[in-house]
Structure 1
Amino acid sequence: MADKAPSRTAEEHALGDLGRRLAARRAELGLSRTEAAARAGMAPGYLQYLEEYSGAAPGPGVLLRLSQVLETTVRDLTGGDTELPSGLGQASRSPDFTSLSVPECRALLSTHGVGRIAVPTVSGPVVVPVNYSVVEGAIVFRTEPGSTPSQASGCQVAFEVDRIDDAFSRGWSVLVRGHARTVTDPDEVRRLAEGTRSEPWAGGHRDQWVRIDPLAITGRRITV
Protein backbone atom coordinates (compact mmCIF):
# COMPACT_ATOMS: atom_id res chain seq x y z
CA MET A 1 0.00 0.00 0.00
CA ALA A 2 1.36 3.42 -0.91
CA ASP A 3 2.15 5.84 1.88
CA LYS A 4 -0.49 8.48 2.46
CA ALA A 5 0.42 12.04 1.65
CA PRO A 6 0.75 14.26 4.72
CA SER A 7 -2.34 16.30 5.46
CA ARG A 8 -2.36 20.03 4.89
CA THR A 9 -2.74 20.53 8.65
CA ALA A 10 0.36 18.43 9.32
CA GLU A 11 2.34 20.32 6.70
CA GLU A 12 1.33 23.68 8.14
CA HIS A 13 2.25 22.55 11.66
CA ALA A 14 5.63 21.32 10.46
CA LEU A 15 6.39 24.58 8.65
CA GLY A 16 5.31 26.51 11.71
CA ASP A 17 8.00 24.65 13.67
CA LEU A 18 10.60 25.17 10.95
CA GLY A 19 12.17 28.24 12.58
CA ARG A 20 12.82 26.46 15.86
CA ARG A 21 14.27 23.45 14.07
CA LEU A 22 16.55 25.66 11.97
CA ALA A 23 17.82 27.58 15.00
CA ALA A 24 18.30 24.44 17.11
CA ARG A 25 20.22 22.58 14.41
CA ARG A 26 22.35 25.63 13.64
CA ALA A 27 23.23 25.98 17.33
CA GLU A 28 24.00 22.28 17.53
CA LEU A 29 26.57 22.69 14.75
CA GLY A 30 27.99 25.85 16.32
CA LEU A 31 27.13 28.05 13.33
CA SER A 32 26.20 31.68 13.63
CA ARG A 33 23.25 32.90 11.61
CA THR A 34 25.60 34.83 9.33
CA GLU A 35 27.77 31.74 8.70
CA ALA A 36 24.79 29.51 7.96
CA ALA A 37 23.22 32.07 5.64
CA ALA A 38 26.45 32.54 3.72
CA ARG A 39 26.86 28.81 3.19
CA ALA A 40 23.26 28.55 2.02
CA GLY A 41 23.67 31.49 -0.37
CA MET A 42 21.07 33.72 1.26
CA ALA A 43 20.98 36.96 3.22
CA PRO A 44 21.24 36.68 7.03
CA GLY A 45 18.04 38.71 7.24
CA TYR A 46 16.16 36.09 5.26
CA LEU A 47 17.43 33.30 7.52
CA GLN A 48 16.36 35.40 10.51
CA TYR A 49 12.91 35.68 8.94
CA LEU A 50 12.72 31.90 8.50
CA GLU A 51 13.78 31.30 12.08
CA GLU A 52 11.57 33.89 13.74
CA TYR A 53 8.40 34.09 11.65
CA SER A 54 6.09 31.12 12.29
CA GLY A 55 4.30 31.61 8.97
CA ALA A 56 7.44 31.33 6.84
CA ALA A 57 7.05 28.79 4.02
CA PRO A 58 10.22 28.63 1.91
CA GLY A 59 10.31 26.74 -1.35
CA PRO A 60 11.84 23.30 -1.89
CA GLY A 61 15.11 24.76 -3.21
CA VAL A 62 15.67 26.84 -0.08
CA LEU A 63 14.87 23.90 2.19
CA LEU A 64 17.27 21.68 0.27
CA ARG A 65 20.12 24.18 0.56
CA LEU A 66 19.50 24.65 4.26
CA SER A 67 19.37 20.91 4.88
CA GLN A 68 22.74 20.50 3.16
CA VAL A 69 24.33 23.33 5.13
CA LEU A 70 22.91 22.02 8.41
CA GLU A 71 23.87 18.42 7.61
CA THR A 72 20.36 17.08 7.93
CA THR A 73 17.35 16.35 5.73
CA VAL A 74 14.39 18.40 4.50
CA ARG A 75 12.16 15.89 6.24
CA ASP A 76 13.89 16.49 9.56
CA LEU A 77 13.80 20.28 9.21
CA THR A 78 10.08 20.31 8.46
CA GLY A 79 9.21 17.89 11.27
CA GLY A 80 8.22 15.02 9.00
CA ASP A 81 9.92 12.45 11.23
CA THR A 82 8.66 13.56 14.65
CA GLU A 83 6.59 10.41 15.09
CA LEU A 84 9.31 8.05 13.85
CA PRO A 85 12.00 6.35 15.94
CA SER A 86 15.65 7.21 15.30
CA GLY A 87 17.88 4.89 13.32
CA LEU A 88 15.69 4.19 10.29
CA GLY A 89 18.33 5.49 7.87
CA GLN A 90 20.72 3.31 5.93
CA ALA A 91 23.92 2.18 7.66
CA SER A 92 27.19 3.49 6.25
CA ARG A 93 29.34 1.16 4.16
CA SER A 94 32.42 1.99 6.21
CA PRO A 95 31.45 3.03 9.76
CA ASP A 96 34.08 3.84 12.35
CA PHE A 97 33.09 2.59 15.82
CA THR A 98 35.12 4.10 18.66
CA SER A 99 34.99 4.32 22.43
CA LEU A 100 34.63 7.72 24.07
CA SER A 101 36.84 8.88 26.91
CA VAL A 102 35.28 9.83 30.24
CA PRO A 103 35.85 13.58 29.58
CA GLU A 104 34.17 13.21 26.17
CA CYS A 105 31.24 11.41 27.78
CA ARG A 106 30.88 14.11 30.42
CA ALA A 107 30.93 16.80 27.74
CA LEU A 108 28.10 15.09 25.85
CA LEU A 109 26.13 14.53 29.05
CA SER A 110 26.47 18.17 30.03
CA THR A 111 24.43 19.28 27.02
CA HIS A 112 21.40 18.10 29.09
CA GLY A 113 18.04 17.23 27.58
CA VAL A 114 16.21 13.91 27.65
CA GLY A 115 17.78 10.66 28.81
CA ARG A 116 16.53 7.20 29.71
CA ILE A 117 16.81 5.70 33.16
CA ALA A 118 16.59 1.96 33.84
CA VAL A 119 14.75 1.49 37.14
CA PRO A 120 14.56 -1.82 39.03
CA THR A 121 10.97 -2.57 40.07
CA VAL A 122 9.25 -5.55 41.68
CA SER A 123 8.13 -6.73 38.23
CA GLY A 124 11.54 -6.25 36.59
CA PRO A 125 13.59 -3.41 35.09
CA VAL A 126 11.65 -0.54 33.50
CA VAL A 127 13.19 2.07 31.19
CA VAL A 128 11.59 5.53 31.14
CA PRO A 129 12.63 8.93 29.70
CA VAL A 130 13.32 11.90 31.97
CA ASN A 131 14.36 15.50 31.47
CA TYR A 132 17.72 15.84 33.16
CA SER A 133 20.54 18.25 33.88
CA VAL A 134 24.09 17.79 35.12
CA VAL A 135 24.83 19.63 38.36
CA GLU A 136 28.02 19.22 40.40
CA GLY A 137 28.96 16.26 38.22
CA ALA A 138 25.76 14.38 39.04
CA ILE A 139 22.72 13.65 36.87
CA VAL A 140 19.60 15.20 38.40
CA PHE A 141 15.94 15.22 37.45
CA ARG A 142 12.59 16.09 38.97
CA THR A 143 9.78 13.62 39.17
CA GLU A 144 6.48 12.93 40.89
CA PRO A 145 6.52 10.94 44.15
CA GLY A 146 5.31 7.41 43.49
CA SER A 147 6.12 7.54 39.76
CA THR A 148 8.38 5.01 38.07
CA PRO A 149 11.42 7.35 38.00
CA SER A 150 11.00 8.00 41.72
CA GLN A 151 11.52 4.29 42.38
CA ALA A 152 15.15 4.71 41.34
CA SER A 153 15.88 6.25 44.76
CA GLY A 154 18.13 4.01 46.85
CA CYS A 155 19.01 1.76 43.89
CA GLN A 156 21.88 1.16 41.51
CA VAL A 157 20.62 2.39 38.14
CA ALA A 158 21.69 2.83 34.54
CA PHE A 159 21.16 6.10 32.70
CA GLU A 160 21.60 6.53 28.92
CA VAL A 161 21.62 9.41 26.49
CA ASP A 162 22.24 9.31 22.75
CA ARG A 163 22.06 11.23 19.51
CA ILE A 164 21.32 9.52 16.18
CA ASP A 165 21.84 11.36 12.89
CA ASP A 166 19.90 9.35 10.31
CA ALA A 167 20.91 11.61 7.45
CA PHE A 168 24.62 10.88 7.90
CA SER A 169 24.44 7.42 9.51
CA ARG A 170 26.30 8.49 12.60
CA GLY A 171 25.66 8.99 16.27
CA TRP A 172 26.82 8.48 19.83
CA SER A 173 25.61 7.09 23.12
CA VAL A 174 26.72 7.52 26.72
CA LEU A 175 25.91 5.08 29.53
CA VAL A 176 26.14 6.01 33.19
CA ARG A 177 25.91 3.53 36.04
CA GLY A 178 25.56 4.87 39.55
CA HIS A 179 23.61 5.18 42.76
CA ALA A 180 20.36 7.15 42.80
CA ARG A 181 18.97 8.93 45.83
CA THR A 182 16.24 11.40 46.63
CA VAL A 183 17.54 14.82 47.59
CA THR A 184 15.95 16.01 50.81
CA ASP A 185 18.39 18.62 52.14
CA PRO A 186 16.84 22.06 51.51
CA ASP A 187 20.19 23.68 50.66
CA GLU A 188 21.00 20.95 48.13
CA VAL A 189 17.53 21.23 46.63
CA ARG A 190 18.09 24.96 46.21
CA ARG A 191 21.46 24.42 44.50
CA LEU A 192 19.93 21.89 42.12
CA ALA A 193 17.05 24.20 41.29
CA GLU A 194 19.50 27.01 40.54
CA GLY A 195 21.78 24.81 38.43
CA THR A 196 19.29 22.93 36.26
CA ARG A 197 18.37 24.02 32.75
CA SER A 198 15.51 21.64 31.97
CA GLU A 199 11.93 21.62 33.17
CA PRO A 200 9.97 18.34 33.05
CA TRP A 201 8.11 18.21 29.76
CA ALA A 202 5.41 16.05 31.34
CA GLY A 203 4.29 18.99 33.48
CA GLY A 204 2.36 18.51 36.68
CA HIS A 205 3.55 18.80 40.27
CA ARG A 206 7.00 17.19 40.19
CA ASP A 207 8.85 18.24 43.30
CA GLN A 208 10.90 15.12 44.06
CA TRP A 209 14.54 15.62 43.12
CA VAL A 210 16.52 12.51 42.25
CA ARG A 211 20.29 12.58 41.98
CA ILE A 212 22.48 9.94 40.29
CA ASP A 213 26.13 9.99 41.36
CA PRO A 214 28.10 8.23 38.60
CA LEU A 215 30.22 5.21 39.46
CA ALA A 216 31.09 4.35 35.84
CA ILE A 217 30.73 6.30 32.59
CA THR A 218 31.24 4.76 29.15
CA GLY A 219 30.39 5.88 25.65
CA ARG A 220 30.51 4.91 21.99
CA ARG A 221 30.54 6.89 18.76
CA ILE A 222 29.80 5.83 15.19
CA THR A 223 31.22 8.04 12.44
CA VAL A 224 31.55 7.69 8.69
Structure 2
Amino acid sequence: MDANDGFRELDRQECLRRLARAPVGRIVYTRQALPAVLPVNFGLDQDGAVLVRASASSGLVRAIGGAVVAFEVDEVDAATNSGWSVVVTGAATLVIDLAEHARLLRTGPRSWAPAPKEVFVRIAPELVTGRELVGGRTLYGVHRPS
Protein backbone atom coordinates (compact mmCIF):
# COMPACT_ATOMS: atom_id res chain seq x y z
CA MET A 1 0.00 0.00 0.00
CA ASP A 2 1.25 3.46 -0.85
CA ALA A 3 1.42 5.39 2.41
CA ASN A 4 -0.61 8.24 0.88
CA ASP A 5 -3.39 6.43 -0.96
CA GLY A 6 -5.48 5.61 2.14
CA PHE A 7 -6.27 2.03 1.07
CA ARG A 8 -5.23 -1.28 2.58
CA GLU A 9 -5.15 -4.41 0.42
CA LEU A 10 -7.10 -7.34 1.85
CA ASP A 11 -5.69 -10.87 1.59
CA ARG A 12 -7.75 -13.71 0.10
CA GLN A 13 -8.92 -15.08 3.47
CA GLU A 14 -10.07 -11.65 4.65
CA CYS A 15 -11.87 -11.12 1.34
CA LEU A 16 -13.71 -14.44 1.74
CA ARG A 17 -14.65 -13.59 5.35
CA ARG A 18 -16.16 -10.30 4.21
CA LEU A 19 -17.96 -11.98 1.30
CA ALA A 20 -19.53 -14.45 3.73
CA ARG A 21 -21.02 -11.58 5.78
CA ALA A 22 -22.52 -9.65 2.85
CA PRO A 23 -26.17 -10.27 1.95
CA VAL A 24 -26.09 -8.81 -1.59
CA GLY A 25 -23.49 -8.52 -4.32
CA ARG A 26 -23.32 -7.48 -7.96
CA ILE A 27 -22.57 -9.67 -10.96
CA VAL A 28 -20.68 -7.83 -13.70
CA TYR A 29 -21.10 -9.54 -17.06
CA THR A 30 -21.50 -8.85 -20.76
CA ARG A 31 -24.96 -8.43 -22.30
CA GLN A 32 -25.20 -7.76 -26.03
CA ALA A 33 -21.49 -6.84 -26.10
CA LEU A 34 -21.97 -4.20 -23.37
CA PRO A 35 -21.12 -4.30 -19.67
CA ALA A 36 -24.06 -5.09 -17.40
CA VAL A 37 -24.35 -5.14 -13.61
CA LEU A 38 -27.05 -6.93 -11.66
CA PRO A 39 -27.50 -6.98 -7.87
CA VAL A 40 -28.24 -10.45 -6.45
CA ASN A 41 -28.36 -12.22 -3.15
CA PHE A 42 -25.84 -15.06 -2.95
CA GLY A 43 -24.00 -17.56 -0.81
CA LEU A 44 -20.50 -19.01 -0.63
CA ASP A 45 -19.66 -22.66 -1.12
CA GLN A 46 -16.98 -24.48 0.92
CA ASP A 47 -14.30 -23.71 -1.68
CA GLY A 48 -15.09 -19.98 -1.71
CA ALA A 49 -17.11 -20.16 -4.93
CA VAL A 50 -19.93 -17.63 -5.19
CA LEU A 51 -23.34 -19.29 -5.58
CA VAL A 52 -26.35 -17.54 -7.07
CA ARG A 53 -29.79 -19.09 -7.33
CA ALA A 54 -31.71 -17.72 -10.31
CA SER A 55 -34.60 -18.40 -12.63
CA ALA A 56 -33.61 -20.90 -15.31
CA SER A 57 -35.24 -18.66 -17.92
CA SER A 58 -33.58 -15.41 -16.82
CA GLY A 59 -31.51 -13.28 -19.14
CA LEU A 60 -28.73 -13.43 -16.55
CA VAL A 61 -28.48 -17.22 -16.77
CA ARG A 62 -28.51 -17.13 -20.58
CA ALA A 63 -25.79 -14.46 -20.63
CA ILE A 64 -23.30 -15.81 -18.11
CA GLY A 65 -23.22 -19.59 -18.57
CA GLY A 66 -19.53 -20.39 -19.17
CA ALA A 67 -18.46 -16.74 -19.34
CA VAL A 68 -15.87 -15.04 -17.17
CA VAL A 69 -17.62 -12.60 -14.85
CA ALA A 70 -16.79 -10.38 -11.91
CA PHE A 71 -18.72 -10.45 -8.65
CA GLU A 72 -18.43 -7.50 -6.27
CA VAL A 73 -19.55 -6.81 -2.71
CA ASP A 74 -18.89 -3.78 -0.60
CA GLU A 75 -19.76 -1.99 2.57
CA VAL A 76 -19.72 1.79 2.82
CA ASP A 77 -20.17 4.04 5.83
CA ALA A 78 -20.77 7.57 4.59
CA ALA A 79 -20.76 8.95 8.13
CA THR A 80 -17.17 7.84 8.72
CA ASN A 81 -15.97 7.99 5.10
CA SER A 82 -14.86 4.38 5.32
CA GLY A 83 -15.61 1.09 3.65
CA TRP A 84 -14.31 -1.89 1.76
CA SER A 85 -14.80 -3.69 -1.53
CA VAL A 86 -14.13 -7.28 -2.61
CA VAL A 87 -14.13 -8.59 -6.19
CA VAL A 88 -14.20 -12.24 -7.27
CA THR A 89 -13.36 -12.88 -10.92
CA GLY A 90 -13.88 -16.27 -12.53
CA ALA A 91 -15.89 -18.47 -14.83
CA ALA A 92 -19.62 -18.67 -14.20
CA THR A 93 -21.03 -22.16 -14.77
CA LEU A 94 -24.41 -23.73 -14.24
CA VAL A 95 -24.54 -26.53 -11.69
CA ILE A 96 -25.72 -29.49 -13.76
CA ASP A 97 -24.65 -32.40 -11.55
CA LEU A 98 -27.87 -33.73 -9.98
CA ALA A 99 -26.31 -34.62 -6.63
CA GLU A 100 -24.65 -31.20 -6.39
CA HIS A 101 -27.92 -29.48 -7.33
CA ALA A 102 -29.76 -31.48 -4.63
CA ARG A 103 -27.12 -30.48 -2.05
CA LEU A 104 -27.45 -26.82 -3.00
CA LEU A 105 -31.24 -26.99 -2.74
CA ARG A 106 -30.70 -27.92 0.91
CA THR A 107 -27.70 -25.74 1.76
CA GLY A 108 -27.33 -23.08 -0.93
CA PRO A 109 -28.68 -19.56 -1.09
CA ARG A 110 -32.41 -18.89 -1.30
CA SER A 111 -33.49 -16.53 -4.05
CA TRP A 112 -35.21 -13.36 -2.91
CA ALA A 113 -37.28 -13.59 -6.11
CA PRO A 114 -38.31 -17.27 -6.35
CA ALA A 115 -39.17 -18.71 -9.77
CA PRO A 116 -40.90 -21.93 -10.84
CA LYS A 117 -37.67 -23.44 -12.17
CA GLU A 118 -34.44 -22.33 -10.52
CA VAL A 119 -30.81 -23.14 -11.25
CA PHE A 120 -27.58 -22.51 -9.40
CA VAL A 121 -24.75 -20.53 -10.94
CA ARG A 122 -21.27 -21.10 -9.52
CA ILE A 123 -18.61 -18.40 -9.94
CA ALA A 124 -15.16 -19.91 -9.50
CA PRO A 125 -12.92 -17.76 -7.25
CA GLU A 126 -9.98 -17.62 -9.69
CA LEU A 127 -8.98 -14.09 -8.69
CA VAL A 128 -10.07 -12.65 -5.33
CA THR A 129 -9.07 -9.09 -4.51
CA GLY A 130 -10.16 -6.53 -1.99
CA ARG A 131 -9.29 -3.28 -0.37
CA GLU A 132 -10.39 -1.23 2.57
CA LEU A 133 -10.41 2.54 2.87
CA VAL A 134 -8.57 3.44 6.04
CA GLY A 135 -8.25 7.05 7.09
CA GLY A 136 -11.04 8.52 4.96
CA ARG A 137 -11.59 12.25 4.60
CA THR A 138 -13.80 14.51 6.69
CA LEU A 139 -16.38 16.73 5.08
CA TYR A 140 -13.71 19.43 4.82
CA GLY A 141 -11.19 17.26 2.98
CA VAL A 142 -8.73 16.80 5.84
CA HIS A 143 -7.45 13.29 6.57
CA ARG A 144 -8.48 11.95 9.91
CA PRO A 145 -5.69 10.78 12.18
CA SER A 146 -5.19 7.03 12.39
- TM-score bracket, shorter-length normalisation: 0.7 to 0.9
Which residue is equivalent to 1:75?
none
Which residue is equivalent to 1:156?
68
Q: Compute the displacement of 1:126 (Å).
A: 0.9
Q: Indicate the SS of the match to 1:105.
A: helix
Q: Alignment RMSD, CA only?
A: 1.8
Normalising by structure 1, we get a TM-score of 0.54
Stretches of structure 2 that go unaligned for 5 or more consecutive residues are 136-146
Are the equivalent residues in 1 in contact too, given 2:8–2:131 (CA < 8 A)?
yes
Q: Compute the displacement of 1:186 (Å).
A: 1.3
Letter in structure 2 aligned against 1:107: R
Q: Which has the higher contact order (CA 8 A, sep 6+)?
A: 2
1:204 and 2:143 aligned: no
Letter in structure 1 aligned against 2:113: A
Give CA deviations for 1:75-129 in whole Å, capped at 9, x if unaligned: xxxxxxxxxxxxxxxxxxx983111111110111112411000122224121101
Are the equivalent residues in 2 in contact too, given 1:135–1:195 (CA < 8 A)?
no
2:18 pairs with one of 91, 108, 117: 108
1:120 pairs with one of 30, 33, 47: 30
Are the equivalent residues in 2 in contact too, given 1:176–1:215 (CA < 8 A)?
yes
Q: Indicate the SS of the match to 2:73.
A: strand
1:98 and 2:8 aligned: yes
Task: Judging by fraction of residues, say which structure has more strand.
Answer: 2
Instruction: Report which of the two structures shows the higher radius of gyration computed on alpha carbons.
Output: 1
Are the equivalent residues in 1 in contact too, given 2:66–2:92 (CA < 8 A)?
yes
Q: Indicate the SS of the match to 1:110.
A: helix
Letter in structure 2 aligned against 1:195: T
- Alignment partners' CA distance in 2, 1:152 and 1:112: 22
Within-5 A mapping of 1:26-105? 96-105=6-15
1:214 and 2:125 aligned: yes
Which residue is equivalent to 2:57?
146
Q: Indicate the SS of the match to 1:202.
A: coil
Which residue is equivalent to 1:188?
100
- Alignment partners' CA distance in 1, 2:22 and 2:107: 12
- Alignment partners' CA distance in 2, 1:145 and 1:204: 8
Which residue is equivalent to 2:134?
223
Normalising by structure 2, we get a TM-score of 0.81
Q: Indicate the SS of the match to 1:168.
A: coil
Task: Judging by fraction of residues, say which structure has more helix.
Answer: 1
Moved over 4 A (4+): none
| Percent of paired sites with the same residue | 37
Letter in structure 1 aligned against 2:59: T
Are the equivalent residues in 2 in contact too, given 1:135–1:192 (CA < 8 A)?
no
Stretches of structure 1 that go unaligned for 5 or more consecutive residues are 1-93
